[in-house]
């Protein structure tokens, strides 16, 4: 059976080369006679897999010395609580920028642990833009400033890094590894793996050393960054297979030429789709042009009554998961690193046909 073109927002498409490699090693990883899923996380084989994955991630992102890299569980959503538990450090305040559903959820979760102040928001225009720096009203006595650098649902991406006098925290789940990133400007970066890194079940946390070791009293041991760092992210059994596949994805990215090269590819894919949308009178993207996501492209049809027909027609051509998030409706094409240019070309060709038929 031919592979479909999968526009899912997550769990998302993985590179075919990575899937093939994982398949080849399914029954026997490098002569061990066992699958990675069967390995002890304490054994030398898996420890080498995890260590190499961390090494390659550090190289890809050029993570400077002075940062811990943690391979955790619980998804990015668990970090909504884990971050205030670890970063408040005795303070009672944290600031949040709200630009979509995920940053809104993060701010709401943090309210259970501290006084949350909304430093900037784009809710006034339906989360269709990222606020400019001059709109930020952060408090100097807050423990950190949190924002979501790419909102998966609304398709809003920050193409610049906010300036902050307090530690900057970013939820980069849906665009991490899609372009180079200046890690040194952040106190903490976190990302669920199931979009651009690998299978669901793994969460990456990159945290500055000085922010580790400040967990609030009562923080569960598995949620304490210091304890996880001391145990090499193996305080309990980690998501071993997810870490293994993530490591294969890191190798794939390095072989392509790293993040500068994948960024070029992502720019080309996004431009192709946005150029079509901008030239169409039938389809529309609601996001401010300067803040459009390269990874998640929401769009609507002029007549919503045609949504089901559009989706059924796309599926007949082998394109799936184009339905928008239930909270906003419409359509959404997620075009992560592993989505080939040919997939976007086929989508645009279909959209042209559909518009010609119904426009």
Per residue in 105-118, pLDDT (tens digit) is 999 999 999 999 99
**CA-closest candidate to residue 71, choices 194, 176, 204:** 204
Q: Residue 302: what pLDDT? A: 95
Q: Give the contacts of 237 (CB within 8 A, at least 6 positions apart).
A: 41
| Rounded distance between C-alpha atoms, residue 79 and residue 331, angstroms | 28
Q: With a threshold of 0.85, does the pTM exceed it?
A: yes
Range with lowest mean pLDDT among 86-90, 257-261, 274-278, 326-330: 326-330
137 in catalytic set:
no
**For the stretch 286-309, what's the b/e string if a residue is b when 16 or more beta carbons lie within 10 angstroms of its beta carbon?**
bbeeebbbbbbbbbbbeeeeebee
pLDDT in tens, 145-172: 999 999 999 999 999 999 999 999 999 9
In angstroms, the CA 184 to CA 67 distance is: 9
The pLDDT tens digits of the residues spanning 337-357 come to 999 999 999 999 999 999 999
206-241 residue pLDDT tens: 999 999 999 999 999 999 999 999 999 999 999 999
| Active-site pick, 171, 214, 252, 291 | 171
pLDDT of amino acid 56: 98
How does the average pLDDT of the chain come out, rounded?
97
Helix or strand (DSSP H, E) at 213: none
Please indicate whether residue 195 is annotated as part of the active site. yes
Neighbouring-strand partners of residue 189? 170, 206
Catalytic residue among 68, 195, 214, 323: 195
- Exactly one of 95, 102, 214, 269 is catalytic; name it: 102
Residue 171 falls in the annotated catalytic set? yes
Assign 24 to helix, strand or coil. Answer: helix
Task: Name the pairing type of β-strands 319-320 and 5-6.
Answer: parallel
The mean pLDDT of 296-307, rounded to a whole number, is 97
């Amino acid at each position: 059976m031919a592979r479909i073109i999968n526009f899912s927002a997550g769990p998302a498409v993985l590179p075919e080369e990575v899937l093939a490699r994982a398949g080849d090693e399914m029954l026997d990883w490098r002569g061990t006679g066992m699958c990675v899923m069967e390995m002890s996380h304490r054994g030398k084989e898996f420890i080498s897999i995890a260590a190499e994955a961390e090494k390659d991630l550090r190289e890809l992102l050029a993570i400077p010395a002075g940062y811990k890299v943690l391979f955790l569980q619980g998804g990015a959503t668990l970090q909504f609580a884990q971050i205030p538990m670890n970063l408040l450090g005795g303070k009672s305040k944290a600031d949040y920028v709200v630009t979509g559903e995920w940053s809104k959820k993060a701010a709401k979760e943090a309210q259970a642990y501290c006084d949350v102040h909304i430093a900037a928001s784009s809710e006034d225009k339906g989360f269709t833009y990222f606020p400019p720096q001059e709109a930020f009203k952060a408090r100097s006595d807050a423990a950190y400033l949190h924002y979501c650098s790419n909102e998966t649902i609304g398709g809003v991406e920050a193409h610049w890094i906010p300036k902050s006098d307090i530690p900057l925290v970013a939820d980069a789940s849906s665009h991490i590894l899609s372009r180079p990133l200046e890690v040194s400007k952040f106190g903490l970066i976190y990302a669920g793996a199931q979009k651009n890194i690998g299978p669901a079940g793994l969460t990456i946390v990159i945290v500055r050393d000085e922010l580790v070791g400040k967990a609030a009293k009562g923080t569960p041991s598995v949620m304490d960054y210091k304890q996880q760092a001391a145990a090499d992210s193996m305080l309990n059994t980690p998501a071993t297979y997810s870490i293994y596949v993530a490591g294969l994805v890191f190798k794939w990215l390095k072989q392509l030429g790293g993040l500068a090269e994948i960024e070029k590819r992502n720019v080309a894919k996004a431009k192709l789709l946005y150029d079509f949308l901008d030239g169409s009178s039938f389809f529309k993207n609601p996001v401010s042009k300067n803040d459009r996501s390269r990874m998640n492209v929401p769009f609507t049809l002029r007549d919503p009554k045609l949504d089901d027909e559009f989706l059924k027609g796309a599926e007949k051509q082998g394109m799936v998961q184009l339905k928008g998030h239930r909270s906003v409706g419409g359509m959404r094409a997620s075009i992560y690193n592993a989505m080939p240019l040919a997939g976007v070309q086929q989508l645009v060709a279909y959209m042209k046909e559909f518009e010609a038929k119904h426009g």
